[in-house]
Homo-oligomer: A and B are copies of this chain.
């Protein structure tokens, strides 16, 4: 029923666990891959994190995340580029070929959204040779427009793709995250157009009401309003053959026992098809 590699648990879903704890959780629940976060990796140590996943036989499906490129201030911009270069090196050390990018919102104190977009394209251009040298692909993630002002001015998959296509396909791709793009009338044709530029497929559901902290308004697959099967079919038809990451930011889920969360994630996974 699928050419995908299988289910991956994005570590953000079990925010309270360290890398070794999250790895053990995946093993207990027969989840073959994990998406790691830099903060957690830093806490455990890069080499220790890589060794831990490897010893458990887990694939690291992606590293989250680089980005936040929208600085007009030269020092802040240089710091962002340096940090992203470090993230590429970390991704390679962890054995994943995918670094997810959250590109950044409006430039601080500015309303010019075009300026923010140009700064992102310029920054990615600087990172491309580094990504190629390390065999890592940068995954431009379109974020829901509710985050356009403060987190990411790239709001639609098509826009992420147009940006990615300015660069070689071995260096820059796009992330399809159902939470961010489900509402878009052009989603299915844009997925088809993305083809092998798709470097990651992430799933979680759009639930209502939104919580006060908009970032945390995500639900388990099936608890909300997203029609997953047509999106999954389009991603598969586009040629994506990697892991499907479940990535859920939700305080209630974070507060729940991680084994319950992993069990629900694994149980719901087949319903995306």
- A: residues with CB less than 8 A from B are 106, 111-113, 117, 144-146, 148-150, 153, 155-156, 159, 182-185, 206, 208-212, 214, 224-227
Say yes or no: B211 contacts A183, CB within 8 Å: no
Say yes or no: A153 contacts B117, CB within 8 Å: no
Say yes or no: B145 contacts A183, CB within 8 Å: yes
Complex Cα–Cα for A145 and B146 (A): 8
A211: min CB distance to chain B, Å: 7
Complex Cα–Cα for A211 and B185 (A): 27
The dominant DSSP class at the A interface is loop
**A227 partner, pick from B112, B159, B212, B224, beta carbons under 8 A:** B112
For A214, the chain B residues whose CB sits under 8 A away are: 209-210, 214
For A144, the chain B residues whose CB sits under 8 A away are: 145-146
A136: min CB distance to chain B, Å: 26
Complex Cα–Cα for A210 and B150 (A): 11
For A224, the chain B residues whose CB sits under 8 A away are: 149
Given A155-B185, A210-B214, A211-B212, does the pair A111, B146 have CB atoms closer than 8 Å? Answer: no
Complex Cα–Cα for A144 and B112 (A): 19
Say yes or no: A149 contacts B106, CB within 8 Å: no
For A225, the chain B residues whose CB sits under 8 A away are: 106, 111, 149
A272: min CB distance to chain B, Å: 12
